[in-house]
Structures are given as structure tokens and as C-alpha cells.
Amino acid sequence: MSSSDESPESMPTDYEIAQSVKKQPITDIVESFGLSPDDLEQYGEYKAKVKLDAIERILTERTADGKLILVTGMTPTPMGEGKTVTTVGLGQAFNQIGKDALIAIREPSLGPVFGVKGGAAGGGWSQVLPMEDINLHFTGDIHALTAAHNLISTMLDNHFTQGNDLNIDVNEVRWKRAIDMNDRVLRETVIGLGGKTGGRPREGGFILTAASELMAVLCLADSIEDIKERVSRIIVAYDEDGAPVTVDDIDATGSVAILLKEALKPNVVQTIEGTPAFVHGGPFANIAHGTNSLMADEVASHLSEYLITEAGFGSDLGAEKFMDIVCRFGDMEPDAVTLVASVRALKYHGLDMWPPELDALEDEDIGAVQRGFENLDKHVENLQKFGVPVVVAVNRFPGDTDREVETVIEHCESELGIDAAESNVFSDGGEGGIDLAEKLTSAAESESQFEPLYSVDASIKEKIETVATEIYGSDGVEYHGDAEADIQQLTELGLDDVPVCMSKTFHSLSDDPSLKGVPDDWTLEVKEVYPSAGAGFLVVLTGDVLTLPGLPGEPAAAEMDIDPDGTVSGLF
């Protein structure tokens, strides 16, 4: 997440910084890590995909002895606390202290790029390059996912048009259409109008491509065979008898897999300081698991001493899912976690602010920082429950005072007994993260006690309740609407022995976005439970989940421009 919105006017824009750097050919960047030019499919000089046979070779020939560092954050303000910047900066910092390191992050989605964020390739002196390509079409993965998602929709509705041999219940279609654009008017629609030639009328809607189960599938699959298998079992509807109808039932498995065959290959680019960076996949951290592809993590951990990988949102969302879903599926263990905090976010919790007023966070306010510690502390506690060492990174923003930053570090060291470091990777690149990298090196040396939070063999309710009470701090769980019936049906169908993927707001540790700090005396409200059978988990919906955002009053898109020579502006 970019922090450039906080940069003073004297600092060049992210794009200007990116343009000022002389990039090296991507083949040179990865060569010392054991990837030859023949292992790559180049997209221009600075972007490449790693071929699947190269990955197979690496996973066979080498061992995964790289240390895995996970980057997550406290409950953020809507502007984010700089997890991507920290991830990129940390990779560079490890290189600066003489360690081989790779980073792995998610691909930006055009929705937020044109909406609030304007870009998601890091920021300042900790960016991945070429940032303008990565923020736009990149190597086409998200476009491929959009097309593949909508091919399923098209095949499904064509099945109705051609006579509905499968007896699909028109009110039980569970597969929406997808678009990579923050286009709120597509959330709820009526389709199939205009008479017989327009197909069968029904309610339908769109989700952002990042929220598609196909995105989750792509980020968990490890081969073409695996992606086909996962795609085939995705449930798209139920028939008149209540039986699931899958992608395979509507004859779309092969064509969907064909559309995804290139997207499956991890992308590799470089950071501003020449650290290789895998940028691959970008699932939502609410209705999916929210981390870059497992395949990128796996290959990267076979190539380097350190892999720094990012999970979306806080310990309650991306990190919990990384440990309970991704590590379980991928047989991986994080060796250390860095929890990104900011003075701004601490004040936001300390001032118990909702809706957020970012301007009010600009002034020094040690009391507010201190009152915000409870949120930070809960995230630390959550991460420690998985048995992994935690180092707090205080991502410094221009308005932060020394006193504020020192207060946070002092608190972590003396109250929590854990390491903490100021991080200035936005303004100073890798050098700004050396202290943090050194502390993480030590932390990662300790014997890992990693363990997922729950066993998949527990009942669905037990798994939900474990996450709710242990991680979110709720008193318990209430089931509303059809949630009880969903759980019973899933159990009867034998779909209960998989992890749960909790869908919850990122604005609060609770399911109520307005509650800051560590909410107490509350009960998690579960509204629906449904299978992501292709991904291999159950999605548990709590509160309202926005799977298709809208544009704000002043969208980033409105400020973008391009000169006749191709120089762009407004991306950051």
C-alpha cells in the first residue's frame, strides 16, 4: 500500500522516483538466485514469468531452507499503514546487510488503482518496478482471471438458454460475474432482459476479480493438473433437488484452465534496489485468503536465504489465513512475523475515531498513541498464539515526531518484551530498514514453535468459534439467517473437514467497523457459510461484505494523464 499520500511536497512522486532508477534486465536480477534466462518467459526486458518446468526443477533439486518472514499489520486506518512498502523495503534491507532475500507480494487490482489508492506497488524508495506496468495490465493475470470467471458465468447462463438439462434452480445460482473496476452499479443487477433472445431473466451481480474464487484457486494451485482439478469442483449453483452444480457439470473446466495457464506462472520483477520480487495473485483478504500465490512463496523459499511475504490487513485477517490456510496447504512455516504499526494508526485507535478523520491524526498526541497500544498488543498476542516470534515495525510517516515513535518502541520492548524497530524504508529505501532486518534475523533464528490455530477435523462451529474468541476477542458466536442450515448441509455433504476463511471487516478486530482498539462484550454474528470448493475452504460471512467497491468522489483516475512521449502521471 502506498504511503505517498503522506509525502511532503518536496519529495518526488513515486512515479518520478521509479523513473529515476536505472533498472537492470530481469534476467540479470534473478541469475544469481539460480534462474537462467531459459527458465523465464520475458514480458519486455523487466518483467518475466517463471516457466512451470523450471519451478518443478527447483522444487525437486533444492531444499526449502530459506527463512520465511511474514509481514502483517495492526488494524489499519483506511489509508493503510504501509505493509507493501515495508515488505519491499525489508527485502532491500536484507540485501544491504549481506543476506540473500526475495520478496513476494500481491498484484495490484485496477479497481483500487483508479479508485482511492492510485497504485499498489510500494512507494517512495521501496517500490517494485516497473511500477506503471505492475499497476496497470502487468502480465495480464487479472485480465485472464476476469475472462475465465466470466466464461463460467456465460457457460452457466447459456445452459439455461439451451434448455437447462441439469435442472439448475435459477434462484440458486452462486456464481456472479467479475470485473476489475470499482463499478458499484454492477453489484446488484437484473440480467437476461429483452425477450427470448436475451436469455433467461434473473437477478445477477458482479464482484471485483480479486474476490473471485478463481483468484483464490490460482493462488493455491501448484500445477496445471491441480488448477484443473480445483476449477472442476467449484460450485456454481444448486439444482432443483439442492445438489451442487459444478464448473465441470457445465463443461467449462478445460476452457477455463486454458485461460489461466499463463496466469498460473509466477511473475518476477525487481525492487528499486534490485531485489527480485515475486508479484503474483491478489485475492481479497476477506472472502479469500489474501496472500500472493503459494507457488511464488514456494519457489522463492527454495531460491533464497530469506523470503519476505505479505498478508493483507491485520493479524485477524490475512495473517490468520496465511497460517491457518496457506501454510497448512503449502506445508510451510513462518520463521518470524513483522507487525507493521504506525503512529497514525495508534492515534486512530486511541482517539476511538469513526468515521476516520485523517487530518486529526497529524498533531503530536502521545496520550492517543498510548491509548492505541491495546490494539497493537492484541495483534502481537494473536500472532504469538501461532508460536511465531514477532517484531514490530514502526513505519514512519513524515508527520510523526521522534517522541511518538520512541514511545511505541519503548512500549514493545519493555511492556511486551519483544523487539521493535523504526522503519524508514519509504524515504530511505533498504537502508531505512536495516535495524528492522537485523532484529528479524535474530528472531528468525529461534526454533519455530509454529502451529495452526485449529485442527481441520474440528467441527465447522468449533473452527469458527476458535477464531472468533481467540483472535477477534469475541465472547462467542451467533448464527443468523441460514447460517445454521448452511453448516448442517455442508457437514452432511462431507465438506466440513477444511479450514474456515472468515469474512470480516478490516476496520475493527470485531465485526463492527466502528469499534476501535480491542472491542469487548460482543458476539460475532455469522450470516452465511458457503464452500469455496475449488480453493478448499469454507467462507464464513460476518457483517456486510463488499465484494465490489465503488469509486470515491474524487477518483484517482480523474487525475491521471499521459504525455505524447508515454510519460504517465497520477499513478502512485
Q: Strand, helix or coil at 502? A: strand
What is the DSSP annotation of 315-350? IIIIIHHIIIIIHHHHT---SEEEEEE-HHHHHHHH
* Contacts (CB under 8 A) with a second copy, residues 168-197: 177, 179-194, 197
Q: Is 67 annotated as a binding residue?
A: no
Interface residue with a second copy among 14, 39, 157, 419 (CB under 8 A) is 157
Question: Quick one: 44 or 242, whose CB is closer to a second copy?
Answer: 44
Which window, 57-65, 142-150, 166-174, 297-305, contacts a second copy (CB under 8 A)?
142-150
Q: Measured between alpha carbons, how far is 501 from 292 in angstroms, rounded to an integer?
A: 16
Least Cβ distance, residue 464 to a second copy (angstroms): 27
Measured CA to CA in angstroms, residue 114 lies from 107, 128, 138, 140, 181 at distances of: 14, 19, 15, 17, 8
Question: Quick one: 103 or 217, whose CB is closer to a second copy?
Answer: 217
Least Cβ distance, residue 5 to a second copy (angstroms): 18
Binding residues for a second copy, rule CB under 8 A, total 78
Residue 37 binds a second copy (CB under 8 A): no
Q: Is 262 annotated as a binding residue?
A: no
Least Cβ distance, residue 554 to a second copy (angstroms): 9
Interface residue with a second copy among 12, 25, 204, 452 (CB under 8 A) is 204
Which window, 21-29, 259-267, 299-307, 533-541, contacts a second copy (CB under 8 A)?
259-267
Q: Which residues pair with 71 in a beta bridge?
A: 310, 338
In eight-state DSSP terms, residue 26 is: H
* Contacts (CB under 8 A) with a second copy, residues 86-115: 110, 114
Question: Quick one: 42 or 449, whose CB is closer to a second copy?
Answer: 42
Interface residue with a second copy among 127, 153, 292, 489 (CB under 8 A) is 153
b (16+ CB within 10 A) / e for 186-216 = beeeebbeeeeeebeeeebebbbbbbbbbbb
* Contacts (CB under 8 A) with a second copy, residues 119-138: 136-137
Residue 23 binds a second copy (CB under 8 A): no
Question: Beta strand 244-246 with 235-239: parallel, antiparallel or unpaired?
Answer: antiparallel
- Residue 506 near residue 470 (C-beta atoms within 8 A): no
- Residue 104 near residue 292 (C-beta atoms within 8 A): yes
Q: What is the 3-state secondary structure (H, E, C) of 359-377?
A: HHHCCCCHHHHHHCHHHHH
Which window, 273-281, 326-334, 380-388, 555-563, contacts a second copy (CB under 8 A)?
555-563
What is the DSSP annotation of 46-111? TEEEE-HHHHHHHHHHS---SEEEEEEESSPPTT---HHHHHHHHHHHHHHTT--EEEEEPPP-HH
Mask 363-382, x = binds a second copy (CB under 8 A)? --------------------
Least Cβ distance, residue 194 to a second copy (angstroms): 3
Cell output for 400: 510523526
Q: Is 79 annotated as a binding residue?
A: yes
Q: Is 77 annotated as a binding residue?
A: yes
User: Residue 488 burial by CB count (10 A; 0-12/13-18/19+): exposed, middle or buried?
Assistant: middle
* Contacts (CB under 8 A) with a second copy, residues 408-437: none
- Residue 340 near residue 422 (C-beta atoms within 8 A): no
Least Cβ distance, residue 154 to a second copy (angstroms): 4
Measured CA to CA in angstroms, residue 153 lies from 118, 226, 251, 347 at distances of: 30, 21, 12, 45
Q: Is 124 annotated as a binding residue?
A: no
Least Cβ distance, residue 167 to a second copy (angstroms): 17
Residue 212 binds a second copy (CB under 8 A): no
Residue 241 binds a second copy (CB under 8 A): no
Residue 42 binds a second copy (CB under 8 A): yes
Q: Strand, helix or coil at 41? A: strand
Interface residue with a second copy among 5, 41, 172, 364 (CB under 8 A) is 41
Question: Quick one: 494 or 564, whose CB is closer to a second copy?
Answer: 564
Least Cβ distance, residue 462 to a second copy (angstroms): 34
Least Cβ distance, residue 218 to a second copy (angstroms): 14
Which window, 248-256, 283-291, 335-343, 363-371, contacts a second copy (CB under 8 A)?
248-256
Question: Quick one: 98 or 195, whose CB is closer to a second copy?
Answer: 195
Least Cβ distance, residue 572 to a second copy (angstroms): 13
- Tally of CB atoms within 10 A around 538: 24
Least Cβ distance, residue 546 to a second copy (angstroms): 9
Interface residue with a second copy among 225, 240, 478, 520 (CB under 8 A) is 225
Residue 144 binds a second copy (CB under 8 A): yes
Q: Strand, helix or coil at 570? A: coil
b (16+ CB within 10 A) / e for 83-116 = bbbbbbbbbbbbbbeebbbbbbbbbbbbbbbbbb
Residue 561 binds a second copy (CB under 8 A): yes
Interface residue with a second copy among 69, 207, 515, 571 (CB under 8 A) is 571
CA atoms within 13 A on the CB side of 201: 5
